[in-house]
Amino acid sequence: MKRSRLDKIDKNILRRLQSDGRISNINLSKAVGISAPPCLRRVRALEEAGYIDGYHAQINPASMGYGVTVFAMVTLKSQAEEDLRAFEKHVSDIPMVRECYALTGEIDFLLKIVAKSWDDYQTLFTSKISNAPDIKSIKSSLTIRIPKNECGIPIE
């Protein structure tokens, strides 16, 4: 059940948690200007209302050996719902595919793929991605740098 309106404190809590999901409730309460018990109640209410989907650590890909990030633009032969779902299921089982977006327009899906090397990506591409059901075309773009990488959304 969504809260009808977020007040200034709720938005501040969301902003702080989005930038530092590990912040303690005590430090969060100080940062937003309320005491710890009501702050914790607000956080729980925001979670229950669906404003907070979860918490995670942002891992540096290069530190784990993933030096290549590729965006693949996939077009299918058919846009029938069952074909779209079959492709979604196919890529959901590939761990190196980190994000998958269904799009409108010429491209049906945009995939964010991480790999340890270009050769590693090529192997993945030929063994798992290009043999997905109903593929018409795939265009891949290798990232050369990431000038901006902010998680979440802007909170006014």
Asked if residue 106 and residue 133 are part of one domain, the reply reads yes
Tell me the CATH number at 109: 3.30.70.920
Backbone region of residue 105 per phi and psi (left: phi > 0; alpha: psi in -120 to 50; beta: other values)? left
pLDDT tens per residue, range 53-102: 999 999 999 999 999 999 999 999 999 999 999 999 999 999 999 999 99
Q: Quote the CA–CA distance of 46 and 69 in Å, as a whole number.
A: 33
Tell which residue, 156, 81, 69, 75, has the closest CA to residue 121: 69
Return the pLDDT at 3: 55
Are residue 32 and residue 71 in the same domain, yes or no?
Answer: no
Tally of domains within the chain? 2
DSSP state of 31: H
Residues 6 or more apart whose CB falls under 8 angstroms from that of 21 comprise 55, 56, 57
Backbone angles phi, psi at 124, to 5 degrees: -60, -45
| Residue span of the structural domain in which 90 resides | 62-142
Cβ atoms within 10 Å, residue 65: 11
1 pLDDT more than 50: no
Assess if residue 56 is contained within a domain.
no
Q: Are residues 76 and 114 in the same domain?
A: yes
Rounded distance between C-alpha atoms, residue 35 and residue 25, angstroms:
9
Same domain, 66 and 110: yes
pLDDT in tens, 112-149: 999 999 999 999 999 999 999 899 999 999 999 999 99
